[in-house]
Chain A
Amino acid sequence: MNFSDILGFALRGIGANKLRSILTMLGILIGVAAVILLVAVGNGSARSVASRIESLGTDTLTVLSTSRAGAGLTMRVADALDDRTVAPAVRSVSPVVSTSATLTYEGAEHEIGSFVGTTPSWFAASNSPVAAGAAFTADDEAQARRVVVIGQTVAAELFPGVDPVGRQVTAGGALFTVVGVLREKSSAGSQDADDTAIAPIGAVRQVLAGYGPLSSILVEAGDPSAVGTAQSQITTILDRRLDADAYRVQSASQLLEARTETAGTFTTLLGAVAAISLLVGGIGITNIMLVTVTERTREIGIRKALGAPRRAILSQFLIEATLLSVIGGGLGVAVAVAVIGSRFPIVGVQPVIVPGSVVLALGVCVLIGLFFGGLPAARAARLRPIDALRYE
């Protein structure tokens, strides 16, 4: 008994009931396509998070206040950090207050998630170059002039078809003059990095945020390799002024690590959900193979009477189940690759295929065929020829 004969029997078995075979394959197809697609979505969102964090610059540190009520970060703390003798690794320090505000221009209104008040050094530190117009200057900042640099989304919302530079918008009852528009940032996911406005910190505090503690302090190190040194230097300064547990220093790379970890968990979760549908498809195979074995009991009896060894019957039904599974899985891969290849974003995420997930899904298909086909095939092989022949 050679393999190609048994393969032929198995193929004929699949062809004998086409609709049923196709529906069974569909179960596996959906399972495999779901695994590959969802893992690709998870992977895609991880990539977009990583690229967004990298666009912030990898040589920055963010000092955050951990105690909500405590005065924590103040302008004086920020000034203390900007000390070339104690912290030579620090290139610039930008205190940040962040609030939400509604901008209006000639009746058009736009709610901004992050209206940022800061110093001019922020633009370089946060890797946010100005595309049109100019950033506000140190002089604007010192005078707390009401000037603002807006993000692309804000520009599109308030000034459709109009150059925003030089126009005046109202925020918190005060007029701000738009002096520049930020360059578009790579943004993907739920948060829009272009939906922002940047103004001198003095003006923002005066008009919108008040004179409470700072939201954060953005510290730029001289170069990426100096981030560690800069972190220990500013920690020394901060420890002298604040309780050790009142603040937290976060580097972009730490943030990247944390976010990557989150994205990994997210991907695993998506994959696990998809794997359940693959399992259900596998159970569908067992179900159909059990029906097939019952239906073809007589045929099994005939084959045994003609001298088919147990092994031949076992392989015939195992191969039949595995073929169902592998053909379904192959089609599932094709569907998933076609969907991903069409560059169609899923829930705002551009899925990025993980080659490993394709290999894994196909491998799992073979295992599913062998495992879930095993029970029915073993049942067929165990049948006593006389019982099988008598079966009606």
Chain B
Amino acid sequence: MGRPVLDVRELTKVYGEGDTEIRALDGVSLAVERGEYVAVMGSSGSGKSTLMNILGCLDVPTTGTYLLDGVDVGSLSDAQLALARNRLIGFVFQAFNLIPRTSAVANVELPLAYSGMRAAERRRRAMFSLDLVGLADRAEHEPSRLSGGQQQRVAVARALVTEPALLLADEPTGNLDSHATEDLLAVFDELNAAGRTIVLITHENEVGARADRLITLFDGRVAGDIRQEPSGRHAAAGV
């Protein structure tokens, strides 16, 4: 299957010192191959958000190595990390995190702007990406005029626009109702069917069930790693 997109070995993350020391991650090792759809589940405090932040190059582990698309992230400089976040990772957050007072299409263009692409090409790709999540007709709307589900789909479009090696989603359905959740998961299903690698964090069982592979964290360790037959995919048949 070639080089894994994501390969972490013996990752630990320790907050605080001495008596107040908390081991959020305590030796996590896992590899994700290209085209996989992985759900990471765990109760609150199991370290899944910490893992996500490290995988997204937003935080650094205390010990352990992290190879992203074959590159050792620990050895990267600040500027190289910014480049890695820009080119290799697409991030979807629980709180949507769109830039306020900025149109949907401008939000989607943002990663491309930071990668130095020309305006016309940027706009074309952003529109393509918005079309992919079914929001091309809302391109000029500002986030405050979009529903939660629409905002999250704009965020997905923004995560996709650089064609990253890895799509990371941190509780993407946490702030959505069941209908918007279904819409968003359908988008993920389509993306995975089109070959995208997706790692998402969730504590909802029906969201976890949609993935090919389910990793369970408990107390900062991998407690379970099973491949499963995804259930409830509607879009898969259509792609």
User: Using a CB–CB distance below 8 Å, which chain A residues touch chain B?
Assistant: 1-2, 5, 12, 16, 298-299, 301-312, 384-386, 389
Contact = CB atoms under 8 A, between A and B. Distances in A.
Given A386-B59, A389-B58, A307 B115 contact: yes
Interface string B151-192: 000000010001000000000000000000000000000000
Contacts of A309: 78-79, 82-83, 114
Contacts of A385: 58-59, 85
B111 A307 contact: yes
B79 A310 contact: yes
Contacts of B116: 1-2
Nearest to B113: A5
Nearest to B91: A305
Best-buried of B83, B99, B116, B158 by chain A (most CB within 10 Å): B99
Given A299-B99, A307-B87, A386-B53, 11 more contacts: A5-B113, A16-B100, A299-B100, A303-B110, A304-B82, A306-B111, A306-B158, A312-B114, A384-B58, A385-B85, A386-B58
A298 B82 contact: no
B101 A12 contact: yes
Contacts of B59: 384-386
Contact of B97 (A302, A308, A311): A302
A107 B205 CA distance: 109
B101 A16 contact: yes
Interface residues of B, number: 28
B102 interface: yes
B56 interface: yes
B202 interface: no
B86 interface: yes
B80 to A, nearest CB: 9
A306 B86 contact: yes
A72 to B, nearest CB: 80
Contacts of B158: 306
Interface in B186-233: none
A305 B55 CA distance: 12
B82 A310 contact: yes
Nearest to A313: B82
Contacts of B53: 386
A313 to B, nearest CB: 9
Best-buried of B87, B93, B110 by chain A (most CB within 10 Å): B110
B114 A308 contact: yes
B99 A302 contact: yes
A1 B58 contact: no
10 contacts: A1-B113, A302-B97, A302-B98, A304-B58, A305-B93, A306-B110, A307-B162, A309-B83, A384-B59, A389-B97
Interface of B: 53, 56, 58-59, 78-79, 82-87, 91, 93, 97-102, 110-111, 113-116, 158, 162
Contacts of B110: 303, 306
B15 to A, nearest CB: 12
Contacts of A306: 85-86, 91, 110-111, 114, 158
B114 A307 contact: yes
B176 to A, nearest CB: 19
Nearest to B88: A307
A155 to B, nearest CB: 70
A295 to B, nearest CB: 11
B90 to A, nearest CB: 9
Nearest to B101: A16
B82 A308 contact: yes
Contacts of B84: 307
Contacts of B82: 304, 307-310
A78 to B, nearest CB: 83
A304 B110 CA distance: 11
Best-buried of A2, A312, A386 by chain B (most CB within 10 Å): A386
A307 B102 CA distance: 18
A162 to B, nearest CB: 74
A389 B168 CA distance: 15
A5 B113 CA distance: 7
A306 B110 CA distance: 8
Nearest to A5: B113
Best-buried of B82, B97, B98, B101 by chain A (most CB within 10 Å): B82
Contacts of A303: 99, 110, 114
B101 A307 contact: no
A307 B83 contact: yes
A12 B100 CA distance: 10
B98 to A, nearest CB: 8
A6 to B, nearest CB: 9
Contacts of A312: 114
Contact of B56 (A2, A12, A305): A305
B97 A307 contact: no
Nearest to B162: A307
A303 B58 CA distance: 12
A57 to B, nearest CB: 69
A99 B164 CA distance: 94
A73 to B, nearest CB: 80
A298 B114 contact: no
A12 B102 CA distance: 8
Nearest to A388: B58
Contacts of B58: 304-305, 384-386, 389
Contacts of B87: 307
Contacts of A298: 97
